[in-house]
Amino acid sequence: MTSSSTLFTKELPDFPFTAVQAREFGHDHYRLRRRLRAGQVRRLLRGVYARSDIPDGIELRARAAALVVTPHHVVVDRTAAWLLGIDTFAPDELQHLPPIETCARRGNAPTRRRDLRGGSRDLLPRDMMVIGGVTVTTPLRTSLDLACHLRRGEAYAALNDFARAYAVTPAALAVEIGRFRRRRGVIQARELISYVDPRLESPRESWTLLAIIDAGLPLPEPQFWVEIDGVLAYRVDFAYPSRRVCVEYDGREAHESTEAQRLHDRERRENLRREGWLVIVVRRGDFSGDRLDAWLRKLREALQNPSYSSRRW
């Protein structure tokens, strides 16, 4: 037997709609209000709705925003990155969906809606593309905007993520950054571009490498395969092969990993140490204060002292 809720689901589209569009589906003001009170429809933004059985999310909100802004508006920054498959949000930010970030092309008025973030920006046609009916900044433009706007570690991670996912090269970034002269954050962006490396596979790996760079230490080789008995046995995050020193970021907390995973990690690192490798492990809380200083000091000593032995660790 088909419930009234299931019948209702078939009456409205599986994408956001305005109150005006609802009338096209047989829902005047009063019927739409009844559906809202019954929990069959949710309000996404002021004047924009969606069926309650459709999962909410940034993608849905972006499509909703596109219905209530003028055509010269573009989705930008972290929202654009999300639609491009790059997550630059902190986990706690996603517990409550952040506002959709938009900007108006220069010469047009930015949105004044309180449920959106607005602004204006110089954008050329080559800076924009369309995803699912939503106009967003391209990977190249988005990566540069984030390099200027985000805090330094997050900005560097975003650049590397775009380099890996979309082959955004330092050369292309360097050409486009010329348009950003005098823009806030451009000095940070210019510096970080010179370190972009698509081989880095996670934001925390980017943070690790940036810490090494900031400490004035030599650049390591990312994603290095260690050979044992002529076989490529282990891949490490960062390596100094001539010194047999490696740095690994371990993002798994004790409560997040199984005993089998912890045993595998211990055995892997012990095997590396038996082969004469010094293994420095960086964890989540090791990017500031004394904990940051501690592992960087160990790395510096290992690189400066040729006789430094893994047995000391």
Sketch the domain layout of the chain as residue ranges. 4-54, 60-193, 203-312
Count Cβ neighbours within 10 Å for each residue of 284-303 and write b for 16 or more, e otherwise.
eebbeeeebeebbebbeebb
Name the residue type at position 302. Answer: A
Q: Residue 178: its pLDDT value, please?
A: 93
**What tokens were used for 46?**
């002021």
Cα 124 from Cα 308, distance rounded (Å): 54
All residues at 6 or more sequence positions from 42 whose CB lies less than 8 Å from its CB, including other chains = 36, 49, 50, 51, 52, 56
Q: What pLDDT score was predicted for residue 144? A: 98
**What is the three-class DSSP state of 30?**
helix
**pLDDT of 40:** 93
Taking alpha carbons only, the member of 218, 266, 271 closest to residue 242 is 218
Cα distances from 2 to residues 6, 7, 8, 9, 52, in angstroms, run 6, 7, 10, 11, 18
Distance of alpha carbon 192 from alpha carbon 183, whole angstroms: 15
Q: Give the pLDDT of residue 18.
A: 93
* Topology of the domain comprising 203-312: Endonuclease; Chain A (3.40.960)
pLDDT of amino acid 26: 86
Q: List Cα–Cα distances, 98 to 31, 46, 82, 89, 148, in angstroms.
A: 30, 15, 12, 9, 20
| pLDDT of the residue at 309 | 52
Amino acid in position 145: D
Note the pLDDT of residue 256.
56
- In 3D, which of 239, 245, 228 has the Cα closest to residue 303? 245
Q: Report if pTM > 0.85.
A: yes
**pLDDT of amino acid 2:** 45
Query: How confident is the prediction along the chain (313 residues), in pLDDT tens digits per residue?
Result: 344 444 445 578 889 999 999 988 888 888 999 999 999 999 999 999 999 999 999 999 999 999 999 999 999 999 999 999 999 998 888 888 899 999 999 889 999 999 999 999 999 999 999 999 999 999 999 999 999 999 999 999 999 999 999 999 999 999 999 999 889 999 999 999 999 999 999 999 999 999 999 999 999 999 999 998 888 889 999 999 999 999 999 977 544 567 888 788 888 899 999 999 999 999 999 999 999 999 999 999 999 986 655 444 4
pLDDT value for 307: 62
